[in-house]
């Protein structure tokens, strides 16, 4: 009976996921330069606002790159991450949203675009363009962003919670991570490449605290993740005391402000901060990619642009679907 329920459960999950991502990673209707005629200045305006913001608040590069990931993985890249609701019932209020910031930057870009070309550029495209521009601002690769996404009208607080259909968790193992990527039409290579986004930015202690203090649930001081470099564990313990909810530490110590390939060097030395980073060593393909990326033969920069384009195609609304929001936090 239990087995039967399980089977039905799995089947239901597949149906739900198929419905959610029926357009997964095909991205029909998207193209580079979608606004060439309707708003030729669009991409220039986005870049200008981002370079102004980066000059005064460079720490927003991490959250703004991460925002495109969170948007695309829930209901496709449709700007649903940006929607507010009076009672805080939208995606951004869900626990895995942890520390997403920079929503006001998106609003600022939108304001500038509405002035130049009212009602033309979608919020979903703004999020995609901003993710590229902050990558460039941190000395990372440049890629051509496909545009033409339209904005969704739905955003639910419950959507992100399931680690497969929603956002992957920092404790997700390699099996779950691969499943999460493949459900969205993304490859295992896209998984290891996009995880390289952790070359910039910060994490709260709470996202890896268990690895320091409570790995098996015994909760004593010595209960650390044995797969983690113990010197690194010791250093992290100095910064993060148990139950610390406020301290943030670098995801990629030493170069967290620079988009480079040092993330892979650290993870292969068992210094990945999150369990989901370390998990990439437990699969032959992701492991091989990590090792390759620590050498001169690294193709990470080129690959990152390709995988970001792939991610940017997940479940997009195009043509006459959805709408072009006037304000990114509200449906029209």
Ligand X SMILES: *[C@@H]1O[C@H](CO)[C@@H](O)[C@H](O)[C@H]1NC(C)=O
Catalytic residues: 70
- Cα–Cα distance measured from residue 62 to residue 130, given in angstroms and rounded to the nearest whole number: 11
Compute φ and ψ for 147, nearest 5 degrees: -130, 175
Other beta carbons within 10 Å of 84: 16
Q: How far apart are CA 247 and CA 207, in angstroms?
A: 11
* Contact flag: residue 95 with ligand X (CB under 6 A): yes
Q: Which of residues 219-258 bind ligand X (CB under 6 A)?
A: 219, 242
Q: Does 138 interact with ligand HEM (rule: CB under 6 A)?
A: no
- Choose, by CB under 6 A, the member of 23, 200, 266, 267 that binds ligand HEM: 200
- Tell whether residue 86 is a contact of ligand X (CB under 6 A): no
Q: Which stretch binds ligand X (CB under 6 A): 91-99, 268-276, 288-296, 308-316?
A: 91-99
204 vs 326, which CB is nearer to ligand X? 204
Candidate residues 47, 97, 187, 321; the one interacting with ligand X per rule CB under 6 A: 97
DSSP string spanning 30-96? -EETTTTTT-TTHHHHHHHHHHHHHHH-GGGHHHHHHHHHHHHHTTSSSSGGG---TTS-SGGGSGG
Helix (H) or strand (E) holding 188: helix 188-195
Closer to ligand HEM by Cβ: residue 90 or 188: 188
Q: Which does 132 bind (CB under 5 to 8 A by kind): ligand HEM, ligand X, none?
A: none
Structure token digits, residue 4: 């039967």
Site residues (CB under 6 A) for ligand HEM, limited to 251-280? 251, 274, 276
Which residues form the interface with ligand HEM (CB under 6 A)?
Answer: 62-63, 65-66, 69, 98-99, 168-170, 172, 177, 194-195, 197-198, 200-204, 207, 251, 274, 276
């Amino acid at each position: 009976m239990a087995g039967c329920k399980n089977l039905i459960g799995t089947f239901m999950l597949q149906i739900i996921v198929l419905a959610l991502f029926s357009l997964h990673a095909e991205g029909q209707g998207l193209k580079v330069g979608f606004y060439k005629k309707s708003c030729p200045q669009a991409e220039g305006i986005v870049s200008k606002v981002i370079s102004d913001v980066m000059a005064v608040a460079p720490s927003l590069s991490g959250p703004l790159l991460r925002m495109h990931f969170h948007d695309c993985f829930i209901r496709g890249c449709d700007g649903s991450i940006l929607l507010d609701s009076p009672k805080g019932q939208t995606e951004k209020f869900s626990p895995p949203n942890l520390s997403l910031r920079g929503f006001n930057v998106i609003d600022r870009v939108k304001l500038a675009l509405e002035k130049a070309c009212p009602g033309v550029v979608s919020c979903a495209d703004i999020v995609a363009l901003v993710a590229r521009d902050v990558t460039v601002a941190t000395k990372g690769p440049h890629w051509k962003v496909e545009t033409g996404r339209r904005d969704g009208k739905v955003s639910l607080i419950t959507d992100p919670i399931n680690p497969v259909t929603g956002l992957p968790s920092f404790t997700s193992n390699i099996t779950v991570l691969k499943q999460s990527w493949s459900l969205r039409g993304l490859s295992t290579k896209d998984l290891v490449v996009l995880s390289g986004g952790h070359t910039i930015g910060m994490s709260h202690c709470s996202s890896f605290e268990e690895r320091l203090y409570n790995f098996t649930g015994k909760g004593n001081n010595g209960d650390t993740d044995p797969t983690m470099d113990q010197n690194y564990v010791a250093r992290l313990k100095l910064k993060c005391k148990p139950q610390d909810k406020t301290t943030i530490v670098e995801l990629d110590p030493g170069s967290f402000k620079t988009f480079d390939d040092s993330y892979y060097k650290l993870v292969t030395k068992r210094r990945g901060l999150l369990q989901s980073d370390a998990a990439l060593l437990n699969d032959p393909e992701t492991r091989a990619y990590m090792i390759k990326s620590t050498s001169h033969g690294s193709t990470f920069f080129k690959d990152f642009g390709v995988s970001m384009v792939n991610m940017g195609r997940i479940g997009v609304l195009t043509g006459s679907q959805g709408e072009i929001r006037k304000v990114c936090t509200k449906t029209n």
